Chain A
Amino acid sequence: MSLWEYANPVKFLNLSGRVLPWVALLSAICLVVGLIWGFFFTPDDYRMGSTVKIIYIHVPAALMAINAWFMMLVASLIWLIRRHHVSALAAKAAAPVGLVMTLIALITGAIWGQPMWGTWWAWDPRLTSFLILFQFYIGYLALWKAIENPDSAADLTSILCIVGSVFAVLSRYAVNFWNQGLHQGASLSLDKEKNVANEFYHPLLFSIAGFVFLFLVLVLIGTRSEIRIRRASVIVARKIR
């Protein structure tokens, strides 16, 4: 038995239906633990005060914003190479989630930035990159919406996703080059954990895990609805004849 078996929409529906409640539960537990721990049981930062606690939403959202696009890229490649419908539909379902994550990251960033940097918005490379990423999501979703034939739409959006990924990376470098920025980059990333004290770090891990599972739940639900819509239209097309 291979993993590809679950690329069959019906099998995928069955499996995902069984998995979904557990992932949802896991996500809820992680989010509750991470956020409550983070918000109420960590000390205020000596420099940033309590504003630092927005980190528990800002960082996971920002991570998921990028990873959602990465997942779409992988799903698009799978669709183009192996023509599994589930893959294309999963990419489609991930896009709005990624879009909202990007938006959350931008908004929480603005809320955090206001007291810290004294401005809601700065043309800092990271912020600018996220704004550009936001535009990529918009374009991708708009293309899905515009094309009627679902298979052509899947093909075209996949190609857009791949080309877009290359340009997104290029944009990231270009933007870095364009303005060296004031973002405290390293302190927020996982691999440089030393920069964040442990008492902040552990709840952050929980909330990141919560966001990952939340993303999974939303993508699964989205993919399942997309499959059902396609199923319904196939059945209707058959009845009409």
Chain B
Amino acid sequence: MFMVLSVQDLCIARSGQVLMTDVNFELAAGQALIFKGPNGLGKTTFLRVISGLQPALSGKIHAKEDSFAYTAHADGVKPSLTVAENLQFWADIFDNQNIDTALSAFGLNDLKSRFAGLLSAGQKRRLCLARMLISNRPVWVLDEPSVSLDTASVTQLEEVIKQHLQNGGAALIVTHGHLDLGPSCKTVNLGEYKSNRAVYGDGAEAFL
């Protein structure tokens, strides 16, 4: 099976504090992993490290270059641009001229010319998720994607993710809610990787 991502002995830290150690997993094309774990475990840091936004303390992350598309709490939506303009900007960045499929996948067609500042939290979130479709990236990294979405929108999101998996994509999802993504989805409890030993890969051990 084709692996889009493999993570070996990953250790991550946030502002000098080690959060998780020895994380190992592989992600195949068409597969989704849902990560669970208590607050403060470092799930967001974990996803940021995987996406390449933050360096890992140690360990290896194997993935093709430019594999990831990332969505987090901060939605990166500009209130003074319209929905279409917001998406068009990212379409230009990712060199993808087709924003209509992304708009309709999340039911944003009617809101197209509305300023993003006037959207509700859930609508903004949908706009933010639509960016994943535009990015054309194989691995979607979703941090709490279903926050402030109503049931209908959650179903939409599930459909979009399933479609993405069917097309050979993959997804890493952190969520406290429930997402039904079918048989190709596994749940991983990140709590078992919680750091219980001191690892100071950032050179802080030099001071001891």
Which A residues contact B (CB, under 8 angstroms)? 8-10, 83, 85, 148-149, 151, 227, 230-231, 234-235, 237-238, 241
Contact = CB atoms under 8 A, between A and B. Distances in A.
Contacts of B204: 230, 234, 237
Nearest to A229: B207
Contact of B207 (A83, A85, A148, A241): A85
A83 B198 contact: no
B16 interface: yes
A83 B202 CA distance: 10
A237 B17 contact: yes
Nearest 8 pairs of A and B residues by beta carbon: A231-B207, A234-B204, A234-B207, A9-B207, A230-B207, A9-B206, A238-B198, A8-B206
A85 B206 contact: yes
Chain B: interface size category: 10 to 19
B15 A149 contact: yes
Given A234-B200, A238-B198, A241-B198, A149 B206 contact: no
Nearest to B204: A234
B208 interface: yes
Contacts of B203: 83, 85, 151
Interface string B170-208: 000000000000000000000000010010101111111
A227 B206 CA distance: 10
Contacts of B18: 241
A151 B15 CA distance: 10
8 contacts: A9-B206, A10-B208, A85-B207, A151-B202, A227-B207, A231-B208, A234-B204, A241-B195
Tell me what chain B mostly uses at the interface: helix, strand, loop, or mixed.
Answer: loop
A241 B197 CA distance: 9
Contacts of B17: 237, 241
Nearest to A86: B206
Nearest to B15: A149
A86 B95 CA distance: 45
Contacts of A85: 203, 206-207
Given A85-B203, A151-B202, A234 B15 contact: no
Given A85-B203, A234-B200, A149 B208 contact: no
Nearest to B196: A241
A131 B206 CA distance: 38
A239 B203 CA distance: 18
A237 B206 contact: no
Contacts of A149: 15-16
A85 B17 CA distance: 18
Given A149-B15, A241-B17, A234 B202 contact: no
Contacts of A234: 16, 200, 204-205, 207-208
A218 to B, nearest CB: 22
B126 to A, nearest CB: 35
Contacts of B200: 234
A148 B203 CA distance: 17
A123 B167 CA distance: 71
A18 B207 CA distance: 19
Nearest to A238: B198
Most buried by A among B17, B204, B206: B206
A231 B206 CA distance: 9
| Most central of A231, A234, A235 by chain B CB within 10 Å | A234
B158 to A, nearest CB: 38
B16 A10 contact: no
A234 B202 CA distance: 11
A231 B18 CA distance: 17
Contacts of A8: 206
Interface string B105-118: 00000000000000
Contacts of A230: 204, 207
Given A237-B16, A241-B198, 6 more contacts: A10-B207, A83-B203, A227-B207, A231-B207, A234-B16, A241-B18
